[in-house]
Amino acid sequence: MNRNIRKVIIVVNLQKDGAPVLSEEINSYLRNLGIDVFIFAYTGKSEIPRLETADLVISLGGDGTALFCSRIVESMSIPILAVNIGDFGFITEISKKEWKSAFIKFQNGELSLSRRVMIKVMVERRGNSVAFHKGLNDAVISSNGISNIIRLNLNINKTNLGKYRADGIIVATPTGSTAYSISAGGPILDPEMEALIINPICPFTLSNRPIVVSGNEVIKITVEEGQRADIILSVDGQDAYPLEEGDLVIVERSQTKALLIRSDKRNFYDILRSKLNWSGGANA
């Protein structure tokens, strides 16, 4: 079934070499088709812009740009064509040479969507809500420094899992399982699973292991009293919020998902095998 694409938002990470030129190439091509185009270009950290709805978002950058895009359009359920300018990322499956082919195939109904779990993260302080974020990869609570053990109390729904002494805790989505969580020894999940990973970072007690829970669970993490370090909450490595003793961080699945356009050239497992060098030989 053909898709009627009338308006496209192009999100451009200007720190990527060749991004402005590619952006203008795409802009010219789409306008020649009679498609309305809005370009949002940014450098470094950017505030989430207020955008009108569109039929498609084209992300030009890397995985970080795709994460940024997912937060921009999450509430509007707009498909994202994530184009990687450089090496393939875990999220960005489409190369800069393939963007036109991918766009045409998507427009013709030949490419499907990968529906990815997102999380919403809330901070309550003395009974009041003081922060709210959404993310595609993860929420990380850690010390705002190097190798400082912090104390956190973890609850899943109404069940207390205990107190954690660790460098921090990662709550990751299946998409985020190949990000910070994998470096901290977490499992790799199929990116379309309905699940969340709770992964302690360098726990003081070795019995504190990563666990995978249903996407329906509500995860509550309390910052214990008597900390010896400043503590920070980071969402997708892009949004940060300082935490205080007694703060309650609530992480749960968002009601809406990130819609990523699949490549027909490669898939998540192709990229996984390549990135992790799963050759099966002596150098694997």
Catalytic residues: 63
Residue of 59, 65, 71, 132 whose CA lies nearest to 102: 59
Given a contact cutoff of 8 angstroms between Cβ atoms, the answer to whether 48 and 67 are in contact is no
Evaluated on CA atoms 62, 231, 233, 188, the torsion sign reads positive
